[in-house]
Amino acid sequence: MAEEKRLMKGNDAIGEAAIRAGCTAYFGYPITPQNELTAYMARHMIDHKRTFIQAESEVSAINMVFGAAAAGARAMTSSSSPGISLKQEGISYACGADVPCVVVNVARSGPGLGGISPGQGDYFQATRGGGHGDYFHLVLAPKSVQEAAELTFEAFDLADQWRMPVMILADGMIGQMMEGVTFPEPRDLEKLPARPWAAGGQYKTHRPINHVSSINLVPDELEAKVHERFLRYEQIKKKEIRFEEVNTDKADLILVAYGTSSRVCLGAQQMAKALGIELGIFRPISLWPFPYDRIAALAAKGKRFLTVEMSMGQMVQDVQLAVAGKAQVSFYGRCGGNIPTEEAVLAEARKLLGK
């Protein structure tokens, strides 16, 4: 029987979902607005007799994840923007060594220390491979506490399946707000996917030794390795693109937004409807891989786009790439920790539509 709905903060729900997904090792460092998540893991990982460490820094935390995951654990770390910047080095190594793990960013407003209020200014960093070298990793953006739990639960499987870090890109709103949430049944730790490539346990099978490493000084070999990884990326683009659409068939103007700003857009869309104005919503859930093709198809039908973000305009560049000059792409954003209001988004849309 399904469990009862619980009222939880996004941060707590992400923690509970991770534990149920079979996360056996969590490493974190305090930072607002994700502190409840680290505190949740402190209490519950200890109760479950799993590994919890408050690391001395985010640099350490991500490298603890690297080690734990390389040794076979379902490992996770979480932080917010300034801390995620510090983790980029470790994420690059995890990508270079094909080490699966889950990284949660409850993003705030930057740059630098910036503020602790919600932000979406980490889009470029998240989707372009924020560290050094040629790589990408999955990035999933929840819009609600329920979806934050679901995507976190799935992220562990996706990480194993594609052998890469999976990032949950939330923001301070998703982390701090409380909503009703239900959780899937906890994973049986005995039945998690095997990791034959991981370090440790050689004595059981006498397999050849494993090296979990990103280094290769032979250009042709390294190039082959990167090519192999990019072939995997092509597979991911075929299978893992996720998005949600509302009213895109009827509307001429489509609001494109992810996470918190997509909720605001939905509010604006409903207000517009009450005024007899049709607006559509296109919400990317996977930010990498980005749903370029679907947006291109909408553009080909003559739709126009208004991208709404809590930044100065980052995802809007992907929308522009998708439409390749064939449709009008406008932008509306707030930053500094401000969240666009439904009223402002509606006003922007009406201006574009001239009604």
Partner 1 sequence: MTEKSFMAGFGGQGIISMGQLWVYCGMKEGLEVTMFPFYGAEKRGGIARAGCVVSTTEIASPLVTTPDSAVVMNEDSLPLCEGIVKQGGTLLINSSLVKTETKRKDCRVVKVPCNEIAEKIGDGKIANMVMMGALSKVTGAVKLDKLEPVLKSFFPPSKHRFIEMNLKAIEAGKSAV
Partner 2 sequence: MELAYGHPKSLKPIQTKYCPGCGHGVIHRIICEVIDELGLQEKSIITNPVGCSIWADLYFDIDSVQPAHGRTPAAATGVKRVRPDHLVICYQGDGDLAAIGTAEIVHAANRGEKFTTIFVNNAIYGMTGGQMAPTTLVGQKATTAPYGRDPEGAGMGYPIHVLEMLATLEGTRYLARGSVNNAANVRKTKQYIKKAFEAQMSGVGFTMVEILSQCPTNWSMDPQESVEWLEKNMIPFYQLGEVKNTLEASK
Q: Look at residue 195 and give its three-state secondary structure.
A: coil
| Residue 121 C-beta: closest distance to partner 2, Å | 17
Residue from 20, 30, 271, 353 touching partner 2 (CB under 8 A): that is 30
Q: Pattern 144-163, binding to partner 1, x per CB under 8 A?
A: xx------------------
Q: Please list the alpha-helical segments (H only) found in the chain.
A: 10-20, 35-47, 58-70, 81-96, 123-127, 145-162, 172-176, 202-205, 219-239, 259-274, 292-300, 315-323, 342-353
Binder among 3, 5, 111, 113 for partner 2 (CB under 8 A): 113
Q: Applying CB under 8 A, does 178 fall inside the site for partner 1?
A: yes
Contact 262, 306 (CB under 8 A): no
Supply 178's token pair.
Answer: 């409380």
Q: Per-residue DSSP letters for 234-279?
A: HHHHHH---EEEESTTT-SEEEE--HHHHHHHHHHHHHHHHTT--E
| Only segment of 56-64, 95-103, 172-180, 265-273 that touches partner 2 (CB under 8 A) | 56-64
Q: Based on CB atoms, which residue is closest to partner 2, 54 or 338?
A: 54
Write the DSSP string, 110-158: -STT--SSB--TTHHHHHTTSSSSS---EEE--SSHHHHHHHHHHHHHH
- Round to whole Å and give the CA distance between 128 and 141: 15
325 touching partner 2, by CB under 8 A: no
Q: Which stretch binds partner 1 (CB under 8 A): 21-29, 163-171, 174-182, 301-309?
A: 174-182
Q: Which does 43 bind (CB under 5 to 8 A by kind): partner 2, ligand TPP, partner 1, none?
A: partner 2
Tokens describing residue 58: 């985010």
Exposed e or buried b for every residue in 2-23, given b needs 16+ CB within 10 A? eeeebebbbbbbbbbbbbbbbb
Looking at the Cβ atoms of 67 and 267, the one nearer to partner 2 is 67
Residue found under tokens 């980005």: 290
Ramachandran category for residue 285: left, alpha or beta (phi over 0 → left; psi -120 to 50 → alpha): alpha
Closest by CA to 77, choosing from 16, 4, 25, is 25
Going by C-alpha positions, the residue among 91, 85, 33 that lies closest to residue 66 is: 91
Site string for partner 1, 108-127 (x = CB under 8 A): --------xx----------
Figure out which of the listed residues 5, 43, 227, 250 binds partner 2, where binding follows CB under 8 A: 43
Task: Give the three-class secondary structure for 91.
Answer: helix
Question: Which one of residues 5, 128, 351, 355 is an interface residue with partner 1 (CB under 8 A)?
Answer: 5
Q: Which is nearer to partner 1, 34 or 125 (CB)?
A: 34
Residue among 30 and 267 whose Cβ is closer to partner 2: 30
Does 304 contact partner 1 by CB under 8 A?
A: no
Using Cβ positions, the residue closest to ligand TPP within the complex turns out to be 31
Q: Phi and psi (nearest 5°) for 241?
A: -75, 130
**How far apart are CB 113 and ligand TPP at their closest, in Å?**
6
Instruction: List the structure tokens of 67.
Output: 């080690």
Judged by the rule CB under 6 A, the positions of this chain that interact with ligand TPP are: 29-31, 58, 82-83, 86, 113
Q: What is the spatial distance between Cα 219 and Cα 117, in angstroms, rounded to a whole number?
A: 44
Quick one: which segment of 16-24, 41-49, 126-134, 260-268 binds partner 1 (CB under 8 A)?
Answer: 260-268
Judged by CB under 8 A, how many residues of this single chain contact partner 1?
26
Shorter beta-carbon distance to partner 2: residue 47 or 228 = 47
Q: If binding is defined by CB under 8 A, does position 56 make contact with partner 2?
A: yes
| Binding range to partner 2, per CB under 8 A, among 53-61, 63-71, 295-303, 304-312 | 53-61
Q: Is 226 helix (H, G, I), strand (E, B) or coil?
A: helix
- 35 interface partner picked from partner 1, ligand TPP, partner 2, none, CB below 5 to 8 A per type: partner 2
Q: Which of 15, 22, 25, 58 binds partner 2 (CB under 8 A)?
A: 58
CB of 6 to partner 1, least distance (A): 9
Residues that bind partner 2 (CB under 8 A): 29-32, 35, 38-39, 42-43, 46, 52-54, 56-58, 82, 112-113
